[in-house]
């Protein structure tokens, strides 16, 4: 056992390989963001379609939460069978995982729009479409955005497992490390990969604070 | 007479719950008709059937002679102003964008909308440069209520529906909003359905009043003075409550009575001149001081004038208790009671002193009102047109 040495190994390793770490981190980030964008488009659409009907709303929430109970390795494996190895499979699976918080928050956000606001919008003759786009969605947006942020945090770590089915990202180092158990680089690989994931999560969180500032209407900020 | 809104046997039955039972009403153009009655009697439901937020079970609605029961509801609603108690301003939009809602839906061009927004802000007494770009949460309740009215007026609809529009503000603000709204109505001449459950508000605001009963039918539909002096049945009588004489004060506007001209002078006139004026004003122990723009500022007595120094701005008593010409004598009496010198000061829109209303003026007005009413009842209520009579005349 080499006392205090593992930390030194990690530092040395990072000093040598940080350009590669950066590359993997960017891949990881893109994987997550792509899935989040799809999940937002799909999740908000589902939310809009179901929020008026309580039974449909609870159906949508239970279906999307069932997805979350599938072990990630199993879902990725299924995707490989249906779609094949690579990023595409990973993005589909990650999108599915990200749906629950987005659907649930879209439904809540839309349901929480002040009835007086909806009534006055209807009473002034705004069409169903303008009410949705100009009134209801902007008012629900802060809640929806919170859902998107939670979804993102959720899939940042799941995305590491996607390396197993040939997708890019920081999971590659973690699985590499796992495969080379016993070698000197095993631990530095795993620790660097993990640190990278934490870093990506941190960056994404900062990104969402910015998005919130930029997209939440001024009248709703406090 | 032109009828802007006609309701014919309008009925709404919710599953297991009657809401409105065969209501018929002819509403002349340019008048305010107040729906009043106990909670649950169907006022809101009737109102919402007019802009089709609720579809009637049976009966029909004509606006400007046109049957609207089969019109595209969105198009119909853009022609009808709608104000509700909770206002429902859009919190994420600026005041200007809120007011522009219907003009935008009607695809007016930008410049026209901007000009209209400023015009409406002026109309409801709010400086466009100050308020245009604010958000609803940055305004007081009373100001938001004014914006609600401005928004409803935006596309200049002929008809306005107002459901307890001043129900959620404090009594003082409410009285002010009522008077302001009446002044505004003098300019815009809309046909208005106005819901309230406050009898005093009904008498003040209504050219006509429709009293709904617990049976969801109309008990009486007539001019306020006729309803007050000649209630149709026991329900109406009970509903109006006691103090009908006092309520009659709602029927006389301040501008309709002769104002007393109280001796007034300017704040910076100099102590000697003020003292001379007060001495000349026999029988008055106070002088009303107005500022350089003619707005009432202080009441001063000879004792206040005896103190040395020329600055009058904090001497004597503040000149509160103001009413505007379109306020009612009831408002004036209210103010009078709280006033320091026992009279209400009348000011115009700009706040400039016009004269005062004192208790004698009020008493005289009550007496003439009583005589007028008696005289009119003797010759039959000629200018009150009950809907059945109109129905007969038309058929
Ligand atoms: N959507 C609805 N479904 C079922 N019943 C309703 C509905 N809306 C109103 N009602 C019932 O219809 C009746 C009339 O209601 P409405 O809201 O018109 O009363 P209102 O005169 O406006 O009363 P308030 O002074 O309390 O506002 C009430 O008994 C009410 O419970
Ligand atoms: Mg009501």
Name the nearest CA neighbour of B335 among B254, B237, B234: B254
pLDDT confidence of residue B252:
84
Residue whose CB lies within 8 A of the most ligand 1 atoms, among B12, B18, B43, B86, for a mutation test: B43
Q: How far is the CA of A163 from the centre of ligand 1 (A)?
A: 60
Candidates A117, A119, A122; nearest CB to B90: A117
A215 near B CB under 8 A: no
Give φ, ψ of B198 to 5 degrees.
-105, 115
Whole-number Å distance between alpha carbons of B180 and A217 = 32
Q: Is the pLDDT of residue A203 over 90?
A: yes
B76 near A CB under 8 A: yes
Mean confidence (pLDDT) of chain A: 93
> pLDDT digit string (tens) for A128-182?
999 999 999 999 999 999 999 999 999 999 999 999 898 889 999 999 999 998 8
Q: Is the pLDDT of residue B385 over 50?
A: no
Nearest CA to ligand 1 atom 12: B19
Please indicate whether residue B90, judged by its CB atom, sits closer than 6 Å to ligand 1.
no
Q: What atom in ligand 1 is closest to the CA of residue B54? A: 1
C-beta atoms of A119 and B151 within 8 A: no
Interface test mutation site (partner A, options B74, B76, B136, max chain A beta carbons within 10 A): B74
Please report the residues numbered 110 through 139 in chain B whose beta carbons come closer than 8 angstroms to any beta carbon of chain A: 135-137
Q: What share of chain A in percent tops pLDDT 90?
A: 83
Task: Name the minimum distance, in Å, from the CA of A120 to any CA of chain B.
Answer: 6
Count of C-beta atoms within a 10 Å radius of residue B200:
18
Please indicate whether residue B14, judged by its CB atom, sits closer than 6 Å to ligand 1.
yes
Nearest CA to ligand 1 atom 24: B39
> pLDDT digit string (tens) for B97-131?
999 999 999 999 999 999 999 999 999 999 999 99
Name the nearest CA neighbour of A200 among A141, A168, A137, A157: A157
- Beta carbons of B157 and B81 less than 8 angstroms apart: yes
Q: How far is the CA of B41 from the centre of ligand 2 (A)?
A: 8
C-beta atoms of A219 and B135 within 8 A: yes
For residue B316, name the pLDDT band (cuts at 50, 70, 90). confident
Q: Is the pLDDT of residue B393 over 50?
A: no
Task: Name the minimum distance, in Å, from the CA of A217 to any CA of chain B.
Answer: 6
- Of A50-59, B8-17, B68-77, B197-206, which range is least confident? B197-206
Whole-number Å distance between alpha carbons of B395 and B14 = 32
C-beta atoms of A220 and B91 within 8 A: yes
Please indicate whether residue B44, judged by its CB atom, sits closer than 6 Å to ligand 1.
yes
Whole-number Å distance between alpha carbons of B395 and B233 = 27
Count of C-beta atoms within a 10 Å radius of residue A146:
17
* Cβ-Cβ contacts under 8 Å, B86 against chain A: 114, 116
**Greater confidence, B65 or B242?**
B65
Mean confidence (pLDDT) of chain B: 88
C-beta atoms of A217 and B136 within 8 A: no
Please indicate whether residue B41, judged by its CB atom, sits closer than 6 Å to ligand 1.
yes
Question: Mean pLDDT over residues B248-272, rounded?
Answer: 86
Whole-number Å distance between alpha carbons of B41 and B20 = 7
Count of C-beta atoms within a 10 Å radius of residue B33:
23
> pLDDT digit string (tens) for B325-382?
888 888 888 888 877 778 899 999 888 999 999 888 888 887 777 666 555 544 433 3
**Greater confidence, B292 or B2?**
B292
A132 near B CB under 8 A: no
> pLDDT digit string (tens) for A91-133?
999 999 999 999 999 999 999 999 999 999 999 999 999 999 9
The tokens of B153 are what? 């007026």
Count of C-beta atoms within a 10 Å radius of residue B75:
13
Nearest CA to ligand 1 atom 13: B19
pLDDT confidence of residue B228:
85
pTM higher than the cut 0.90: no
DSSP state, residue B137: G
Establish how many alpha carbons lie within 13 A of residue A171's alpha carbon, considering only the half-sphere containing its beta carbon: 22
- Of A34-38, B40-44, B272-276, which range is least confident? B272-276
Instruction: DSSP for B113-136, please give it.
Output: HHHHHHHHHHHTT--HHHHTT--G
Count of C-beta atoms within a 10 Å radius of residue B8:
16
Q: Is the pLDDT of residue A211 over 90?
A: yes
- Maximum alpha-carbon separation in chain B: 78
Q: What atom in ligand 1 is closest to the CA of residue B15? A: 4
Q: Which residues contact B372 (CB under 8 A, 6 or more apart)?
A: none
* Cβ-Cβ contacts under 8 Å, B151 against chain A: 124
pLDDT confidence of residue A161:
92
Name the nearest CA neighbour of B165 among B136, B138, B144: B144
Count of C-beta atoms within a 10 Å radius of residue A115:
10
Candidates B102, B135, B161; nearest CB to A125: B102
For residue A7, name the pLDDT band (cuts at 50, 70, 90). confident
- Starting from the CA of residue B48, give the closest ligand: 1
Question: Mean pLDDT over residues B238-259, rounded?
Answer: 81
C-beta atoms of B88 and A120 within 8 A: yes
Question: Mean pLDDT over residues B378-388, rounded?
Answer: 39
pLDDT winner (highest mean) among A175-184, B151-160, B233-242:
B151-160
């Amino acid at each position: 056992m080499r006392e205090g040495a593992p930390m030194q190994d990690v530092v040395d390793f990072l000093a040598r390989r940080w350009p590669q770490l950066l590359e993997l981190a960017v891949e990881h980030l893109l994987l997550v963001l792509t899935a989040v964008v799809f999940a937002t488009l799909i999740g908000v659409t589902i939310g809009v379609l179901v929020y008026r009907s309580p039974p449909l709303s609870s159906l949508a929430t239970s279906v999307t939460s069932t997805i979350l109970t599938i072990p990630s390795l199993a879902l990725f494996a299924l995707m490989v069978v249906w779609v094949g190895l690579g990023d595409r499979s990973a993005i589909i699976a990650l999108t599915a995982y990200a749906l629950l918080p987005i659907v649930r928050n879209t439904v809540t956000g839309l349901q929480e729009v002040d009835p007086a606001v909806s009534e006055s919008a209807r009473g002034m003759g705004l069409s169903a479409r303008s009410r949705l786009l100009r009134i209801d969605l902007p008012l629900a947006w802060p809640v929806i955005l919170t859902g998107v942020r939670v979804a993102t945090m959720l899939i940042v770590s799941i995305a590491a497992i996607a390396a197993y089915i040939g997708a890019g990202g920081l999971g590659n180092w973690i699985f590499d490390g796992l495969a080379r158990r016993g070698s000197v680089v095993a631990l530095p690989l795993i620790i660097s990969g993990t640190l990278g994931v934490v870093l990506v999560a941190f960056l994404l969180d900062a990104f969402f604070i910015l998005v919130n500032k930029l997209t939440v209407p001024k009248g709703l900020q406090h | 007479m032109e009828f802007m809104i006609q309701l014919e046997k309008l009925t709404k039955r919710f599953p297991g719950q009657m809401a409105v039972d065969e209501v018929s009403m002819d509403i002349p153009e340019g008048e305010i008709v107040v729906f009043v009655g106990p909670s649950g009697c169907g006022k809101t439901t009737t109102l919402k059937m007019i802009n089709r937020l609720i579809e009637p079970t049976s009966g029909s609605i004509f606006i400007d002679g046109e049957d609207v029961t089969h019109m595209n509801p969105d198009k119909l609603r853009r022609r009808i102003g709608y104000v509700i108690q909770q206002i429902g301003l859009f919190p994420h939009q600026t005041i200007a964008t809120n007011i522009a809602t219907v003009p935008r839906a009607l695809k007016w061009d930008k410049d026209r909308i901007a000009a209209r927004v400023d015009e409406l802000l002026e109309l409801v007494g709010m400086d466009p440069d100050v308020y245009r770009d604010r958000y609803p949460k940055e305004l007081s309740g009373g100001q938001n209520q004014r914006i609600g009215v401005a928004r409803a007026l935006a596309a200049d609809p002929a008809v306005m529906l107002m459901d307890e529009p001043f129900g959620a503000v404090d009594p003082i603000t409410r009285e002010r909003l009522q008077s302001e709204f009446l002044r505004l109505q003098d300019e815009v001449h809309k046909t208005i359905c106005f819901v309230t459950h406050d009898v005093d508000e009904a008498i003040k605001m209504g050219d006509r009043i429709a009293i709904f009963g617990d049976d969801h039918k109309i008990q009486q539909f007539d001019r306020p003075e006729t309803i007050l002096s000649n209630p149709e049945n026991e329900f109406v009588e009970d509903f109006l409550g006691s103090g009908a004489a006092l309520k009659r004060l709602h029927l006389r506007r301040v501008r309709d009575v002769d104002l007393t001209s109280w001796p007034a002078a300017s704040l910076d006139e100099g102590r000697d001149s003020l003292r001379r004026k007060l001495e000349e004003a026999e029988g008055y122990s106070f002088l009303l001081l107005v500022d350089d723009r003619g707005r009432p500022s202080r009441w001063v007595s000879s004792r206040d004038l005896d103190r040395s120094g020329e600055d009058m701005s904090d001497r004597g008593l503040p000149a509160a208790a103001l009413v505007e010409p379109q306020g009612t004598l009831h408002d004036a009496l209210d103010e009078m009671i709280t006033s320091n010198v026992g009279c209400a000061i009348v000011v115009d829109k700009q706040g400039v002193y016009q004269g005062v209303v004192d208790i004698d003026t009020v008493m005289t007005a009550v007496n003439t009102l009583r005589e007028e009413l008696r005289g009119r009842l003797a010759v039959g209520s000629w200018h009150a047109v009950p809907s059945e009579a109109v129905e007969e005349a038309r058929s």
